């Protein structure tokens, strides 16, 4: 009778377990209604069968979903993703066909991980990371104002393709050279070897400002439709001051003015801006002139510089100096007198470099005309006409002439 009761209780318990699932725990709690086996513990875990790879492969007709722990080779939890007749063992956490398991791989949403390569919207290819889509593709954002939003380092090139075109349209080399439209930039910034506009600073449908390249020419251009100038200047706290500009009509502007017709641009030294000046033989830049104030007598015993026939000038550097002298010489007429001889000598800082003489008969006159040139170094110099006579006293600079005598000096920087 006792044996009967025990058997009945076991049958009833088995029936109850079959209907509700089996709970294994230390509290006596029933199994969860959704589980056939409910194992719970806070101090122990579940230990599945452990075996070698060879032992796992030797399992006869392993059920789909069968789980074992492999102890050699690539150790880990393995499960059969295939069928009993055609097993396909997968290690938990590794991508693979037939459902795989961790390290995501799915074709439904085009997200892949395979052999160390990640692809989103496409399948893994030769790149470690690939993103492809028909809409918005990729975004990197940082909410840390002092952090690095994105960084690419290591070796090799960084290339960016144009939409729909394979091949580098923007290339950054390891030496810092950046190429636009070329995969082999030779300078810190290189463009494709194509003529035309290269940099547009303010493009629009009707105007443009920027840089370009024509055949044998570098172009700096501004908008011609609206009369744009090309200006060079200085900027202080956002305020632009024009120094030099080429106007839309080709006029040259210096210091904000184009000058007047016939004026020339004159340098005023290294500390003063250039200015437009009126060209004048007596006052402009490198031409100097002087005239004798009156006629002047020179006798054979007192050779001298004719008053007014001297020019002092400043040469900014090594220069050629061209000199022209024209002065009237007159011999007074007297009974039984012979003529005289006038000699003119051009001197540079007191040293003679060119001489000419004029012989006059009794009572005759002539012009002493001299043209010469010399070379001077940087600095202040004086050119003068040193005159002497022989035979008798002579008058230099004749009264009643439009001028008594003149000297003109032109300084030509080398």
What would the two tokens of residue 277 be? Answer: 């000046």
119: Cβ–Cβ under 8 A, 6 or more apart, which residues? 110, 111, 112, 125, 129, 130, 131, 132
Q: What is the pLDDT of residue 221?
A: 86
Does residue 112 contact residue 95 with C-beta atoms inside 8 Å? yes
List the end-to-end C-alpha distance of the chain, in Å, as a whole number: 139
Across 151-165, 173-187, 249-263, least confident range: 151-165
What pLDDT is recorded for position 281?
Answer: 46
Q: What is the pLDDT of residues 333-369, one digit of tens each?
A: 787 788 899 999 999 999 999 999 999 888 888 889 9
The confidence band for 10, taking pLDDT boundaries of 50, 70 and 90, is very low
- In this structure, are strands 379-390 and 304-315 parallel, antiparallel, or unpaired? antiparallel
- Evaluated on CA atoms 60, 64, 66, 72, the torsion sign reads positive
Non-local (6+) Cβ contacts of 365 within 8 A are: 328, 329, 330, 331, 398
Q: What is the mean pLDDT of residues 386-403?
A: 80
CA angle (339, 345, 349) in 5-degree steps: 155
Cα–Cα nearest to 309, from 345, 283, 284, 341:
345
Q: Per-residue pLDDT for 192 more than 80? A: yes
Contact 124, 112 (CB under 8 A): yes
Highest mean pLDDT of the ranges 89-98, 226-235, 256-265, 369-378: 369-378
Question: What is the reported pLDDT for 167?
Answer: 67
Is residue 107 predicted with pLDDT exceeding 60?
no
Question: DSSP string of 214-278?
Answer: ETTEEEEE--TTTT--EEEEEEETTEEEEEEEE-TTS-EEETTB---TTEEEE---TTS--EEEE
H/E segment holding residue 3: helix 2-20
Residue where the block lists tokens 């000038």: 313
What is the enclosing helix (H) or strand (E) of 220?
strand 217-221
Q: Kindly state the average pLDDT of the residues 23-34.
A: 87
Architecture of the domain defined by 287-413: Sandwich (2.60)
Query: What is the predicted pLDDT for the residue at 108?
Result: 53
> At residue 70, does pLDDT exceed 60?
yes
pLDDT given for residue 4 in this prediction: 47
3-state DSSP assignment of residue 414:
coil
**Region of poorest pLDDT, from 14-23, 52-61, 204-213, 236-245:** 14-23
Mean pLDDT of 28-53: 90
Residue range 13-34: average pLDDT? 74
pTM listed for this prediction: 0.43
pLDDT of residue 356: 94
According to the per-residue pLDDT averaged within each range, which of 153-162, 217-226, 228-237 is highest? 228-237
Rounded CA gap, 210 and 23, in Å? 80
DSSP string of 338-396? --EEEEEEEEETTEEEEEEEEEE-TT-EEEEEEEEEEEE-SEEEEEEEEEEEESS-EEE
Is 70 exceeded by the pLDDT of residue 59?
A: yes
Q: How many CA atoms lie within 13 A of 392 on its CB side?
A: 19
- Segment 179-188 shows an average pLDDT of 86
Distance (Å, whole) CA 372 – CA 386: 14
Given a cut of 60, is residue 90 above it in pLDDT? yes
Burial of 185 (0-12, 13-18, 19+ CB in 10 A): buried
Mean pLDDT, all residues of the chain? 83
Q: Is 381 within 8 Å of 323 (Cβ atoms)?
A: no
- Per-domain residue ranges for the chain? 1-46, 47-88, 93-130, 231-278, 287-413
Mean pLDDT check: name the lowest of 100-109, 229-238, 310-319, 394-403: 100-109
pLDDT exceeds 80 at position 313:
yes
136-145: average pLDDT: 81
β-strand partners of 233: 242
Q: How much is the pLDDT for 9? A: 44
Q: List pLDDT tens digits, range 268-286.
A: 888 888 888 776 544 455 8
Q: What is the pLDDT of residue 170?
A: 83
Phi, psi of 11, rounded to the nearest 5 degrees:
-65, -45
Using pLDDT thresholds of 50, 70 and 90, give the confidence band for residue 206. Answer: confident
Q: For residues 14-32, give the mean pLDDT.
A: 74
Which one is predicted more confidently, 344 or 114?
344
């Amino acid at each position: 009778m006792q044996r009967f009761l025990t058997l009945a209780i076991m049958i009833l318990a088995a029936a109850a377990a079959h209907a509700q699932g089996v709970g294994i725990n230390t509290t006596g709690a029933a199994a969860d209604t959704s589980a056939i086996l409910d194992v719970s513990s806070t101090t122990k875990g579940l230990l599945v069968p452990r075996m070698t790879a060879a032992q796992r492969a030797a399992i006869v007709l392993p059920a789909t979903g069968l789980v074992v722990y492999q102890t050699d080779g690539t150790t880990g939890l393995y499960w059969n993703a295939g069928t009993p007749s055609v097993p396909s063992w997968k290690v938990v956490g590794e991508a693979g066909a037939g459902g795989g398991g961790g390290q995501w791989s799915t074709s439904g949403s085009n997200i892949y991980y395979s052999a160390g390569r990640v692809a989103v919207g496409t399948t893994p290819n030769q790149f470690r990371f690939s993103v492809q889509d028909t809409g918005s593709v990729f975004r990197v954002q940082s909410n840390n104002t002092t952090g690095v939003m994105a960084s690419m380092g290591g070796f090799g090139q960084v290339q960016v393709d144009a939409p729909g075109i394979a091949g580098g349209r923007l290339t950054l080399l390891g030496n810092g050279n950046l190429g636009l439209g070329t995969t082999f930039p030779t300078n810190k910034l290189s463009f494709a070897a194509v003529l035309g506009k290269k940099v547009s600073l303010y493009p629009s449908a009707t105007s443009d400002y920027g840089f370009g390249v024509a055949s044998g020419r570098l172009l700096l251009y501004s908008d011609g439709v609206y009369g744009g100038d090309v200006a060079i200047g200085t900027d202080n706290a956002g305020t632009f001051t024009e120094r030099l500009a080429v106007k839309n009509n080709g006029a040259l502007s210096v210091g904000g003015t184009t000058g007047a017709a016939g004026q020339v641009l004159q340098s005023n030294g290294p500390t003063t801006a250039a200015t437009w000046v009126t060209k004048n033989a007596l006052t402009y830049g490198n031409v100097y002139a002087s005239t004798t104030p009156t006629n002047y007598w020179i006798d054979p015993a007192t050779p001298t510089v004719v008053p007014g026939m001297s020019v002092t000038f400043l040469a900014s550097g090594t220069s050629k100096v061209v000199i022209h002298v024209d002065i009237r010489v007159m011999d007074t007429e007297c009974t039984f007198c012979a003529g005289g001889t006038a000699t003119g000598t051009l001197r540079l800082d007191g040293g003679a470099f060119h001489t000419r003489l004029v012989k006059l008969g009794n009572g005759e006159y002539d012009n002493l005309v001299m043209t010469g040139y010399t070379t001077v170094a940087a600095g202040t110099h004086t050119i003068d006409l040193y005159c002497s006579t022989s035979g008798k006293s002579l008058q230099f600079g004749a009264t009643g002439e439009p001028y008594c005598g003149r000297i003109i000096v032109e300084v030509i920087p080398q």
